[in-house]
Each structure stands twice: as structure tokens, then as C-alpha cells.
Structure 1
């Protein structure tokens, strides 16, 4: 998935030795969600659609759900891809201050990844513990380490967070997608209505208002690694909450195995507005990758 492409690229960087911050970028698209919600006849504050929401046309349903998700601001996240390395569980806060904590698989081992603001942290496992005694997290700051060999991909994690953001995805597809209603379906026992959208990558990025040109270019590069269009599926419940999202714009890029190149990854959001918001770890638990690279003379 695009998410995995950026995430695994960042993890690989870790294992190998006037831009907007990620938090600013996450806050900026709220205008798109607000305008989308207004076009649906709802408020940008995220008022739940009326009981007849299942009868909304696809554009109105996605726009109203964008407002609901924007108001919720956070959730528990379950990510399921074609392989264990494309899957994970965690916590995501898409309102500022933006943060994401995921437990993912990396070459068969569980790895914890934390994004707080515009900084990435990777959990120190037993193998890395010898290099960083007493530390629980390795800090990878794209601003401090962008010049280091192999760390360039860290600058792309802002695009990953945009693609995970349900309010951004819903608003963008409501505005620019070719939409259809698949029909009622249950997701984990919950009644939902399934909607499908096909959207040009350039239109998806254009609908992400408020992003810096650099971040837009990063998102577009990732999206077009497998084609010029994305197909997205949204499962929305009677309260206008996005229960599940899936699509090919979340699928592996060119570096993935060809069999998985067009695989669909699904994201499930639960405990909307009630999930714990991840925070940056205490300084005493953190080792700084940029300092290590400087000491080794590689930056």
C-alpha cells in the first residue's frame, strides 16, 4: 500500500543506517471537509446525518461523513493488507496535534512506529537495544536527518498520514470522485452502506486543500507509482461514521511483489473521538538517529 511503501521505506532507512509540518498539513484539509459537509446540507461541526442517511446519494453521504469524521478527530485503527508486512493496529489522531502509533510487521518481527507532529519514532527492539542501551525509541527527524544516506523517504510520511486521514479521503472523493452506491452491507456486525469511488490521482491531490506544494508532489508521486487512478471503497453507518475504508491508492507501489501490486488494503476505524491520543515519548527514552549518524560521520 502507499502507506506501507512510505512506512517500510522509513523503517528501511532506520535499519540501514518554509514547508508545512505534518501537523500543519493535517489541520489544513479541514476546510475541504467543512465545505463538503456544507454541500451535503450538514454542518461542518460534524452533526450526524438524519435517520434517512442510508437514502443519501453517494456524494452527499461521503460529504456528510467527512464532517462527522473531522469532528471525531481520532480513532483506533486496524490496517489489513495483502501480507502481514502491510498490516498493523494502532491509534490515530488526525486533528492537530496529529499523531499516529502503529504496531506493524517488519520481516516477521513486530515493530512499533510513532509519528508525533513531524517527527517519527521507531521502537527499539532487542537487536537494536545493544546500540541504544536503556532507550525504548529511536527518533528520526526528517528535518535533522534529511541529508543522511537512506533517510530521504522520511520526508514522505506526511503523505502517508494524509492518505490515512478519513476526513481528507471522504472530502476529496466527494468532491472529485466518480461515485456509486454498492448497497447495504454488514462490517463486523454493523449495518453500513457501501459506496465506491474512482478518482484520478491528480484530482485527489488537488482536493487536499492547504497542503504545501512539496507535500502535494510527494502524495502524487506515491499515488501514481501504480497508475493514474485510484479506486476507493467506503462503508458508512447510519450515524455517518466511516466504519471501513479500502482501496488501491493504499496498495503496494512498484517496489512490492507484482502479485500484490494491485492488492486492496482496508482500514477500520473504531472508538471514534474516544481513542487515546499518542504522544511523543519522554526524552530520556529516546535515542536520536541524527546524532548517531553525525558521530559516525555519515551526515
Structure 2
């Protein structure tokens, strides 16, 4: 999967919303997740590029949150963006597969199909503290405590179900999103190696360019 360099994803969402996204791992880890409302095309988007996190809404520009430059007021339990930041690791198939493969309690559930494609279903859990530690320098210390707290609102562990295709690629995951109170969310992955590059928003659209 790492050799593929990128992947597209779609997140099971509740009507009238639909969510899609992209991960890139070729040079540095970048990502985008876009949530769209069907009846009026309103969009809410998140991007992670060059150790900065961007949140945007259609027609309203982008807010920039430097991942490593949180003030005391922004870090810890008061960091309202921590759950959104955590989502980018919870739905990253490459990161999740690596962490659960090394640190998880993995159970093989059986052979199944995902959208007609053969897959092996696995279930695994990893302690929250181990999950956050595995993020390493991609999440500076200023944000780690807040992200771990956001994960702990869903339980003591990060749980994930994986459906792995014949080539070792993740076709689907079911995960507990830290932005939701209960229930797991299905995320499907496709077009490995063919996803468009993720860029930071244009400077003119960033409302707080200095973070």
C-alpha cells in the first residue's frame, strides 16, 4: 500500500450527507476529507498538509491550525479540534494496518467479500496510549494529550475491523470515529495510486495565515 502512494476513500454517512477523501503518503503524509450536503451542495472540508490542519466551509474560507504550535489555551482538554485531528489517523488505512499489525490484538474473522471482491476480515484493538505514541513526530507533544483524550471519549482502546484484499490492500475498515458518540463507521478504499494530490488551501482563502 505504501508503494501505491495514495488512496481514495468514502465514508458511510447519514443522509443528506456524503463524505469522501484522499490520503497521500509518497513524500509526506497529507490528507483531505470533504463532507457534502446533498440537497444544497454545502461542503465542510478538512485538510492536513505540512504539519498544519485546515478546516473550511464552502463560501467561508479556511481556518489554519498549526499542529505543533498550540497555546496552553488550545491544548489539552480545551483543544476542540482534537477529535477532528484524530480522525485523520483513525481512517488512515496505512497507519491503522501498521499499528494494529505491530501492537494490536488481531483476530481473523473469516473470508468475506467487499463490493464483490474477495477479502479477509480481521478485528483488532490497540490501547489509546500506544496508538497516539505510534503517531510519533507527525503529532507534536502540544497536541498528543488532547488527541488521546478525544480517543478516550470512545473507550480505552482504538478498535478497528479490516477487510484485506488479495494484494494486501485495505478494501474497507469499520472504526469508531472520535467525532461521533457511538456506533462504528464504515470506510471504503479504492483507486490506490490514482488519487489526486492534496495541497494546502490558496493563501488568499486562509483566514488566519499565521495560525
TM-score by length of structure 1 reads 0.57
Aligned to 1:214: 142
- Cα distance change on mapping 1:251 and 1:107 into 2, 3 Å: farther
Inter-partner Cα distance in structure 2 for 1:155 and 1:262: 17
Aligned to 1:35: none
Matches within 5 A, 1:1-299: 69-81=1-13, 83-84=14-15, 87-105=18-36, 110-115=42-47, 116-117=49-50, 118-125=52-59, 128=60, 138-143=61-66, 152-154=79-81, 157-210=84-137, 211-248=139-176, 250=177, 252-253=179-180, 261-284=181-204, 286-289=205-208
SS at match of 2:80: helix
The alpha-carbon deviation at position 156 of structure 1 amounts to 5.9
Does the CA-based 8 Å contact 1:235-1:243 persist in structure 2? yes
- Cα distance change on mapping 1:263 and 1:205 into 2, 3 Å: same
Inter-partner Cα distance in structure 2 for 1:153 and 1:231: 22
The alpha-carbon deviation at position 179 of structure 1 amounts to 1.2
SS at match of 1:178: coil
Inter-partner Cα distance in structure 2 for 1:189 and 1:91: 23
Structure 1 residue ranges without an equivalent (≥5) = 1-68, 129-137, 254-260, 292-299
The alpha-carbon deviation at position 171 of structure 1 amounts to 1.3
Does the CA-based 8 Å contact 1:79-1:265 persist in structure 2? yes
Moved >6 Å (runs of 4+): 144-147
Max Rg structure: 1
The alpha-carbon deviation at position 98 of structure 1 amounts to 3.3
- Please state which structure has a larger fraction of its residues in strand: 2
Inter-partner Cα distance in structure 2 for 1:121 and 1:241: 29
SS at match of 1:194: strand
The alpha-carbon deviation at position 161 of structure 1 amounts to 1.9
Inter-partner Cα distance in structure 1 for 2:58 and 2:18: 19
- Cα distance change on mapping 1:164 and 1:112 into 2, 3 Å: same
TM-score by length of structure 2 reads 0.78
Task: Give the root-mean-square deviation of aligned CA atoms.
Answer: 3.3
SS at match of 1:192: strand
Single out whichever of 270-279 and 109-118 deviates more from structure 2: 109-118
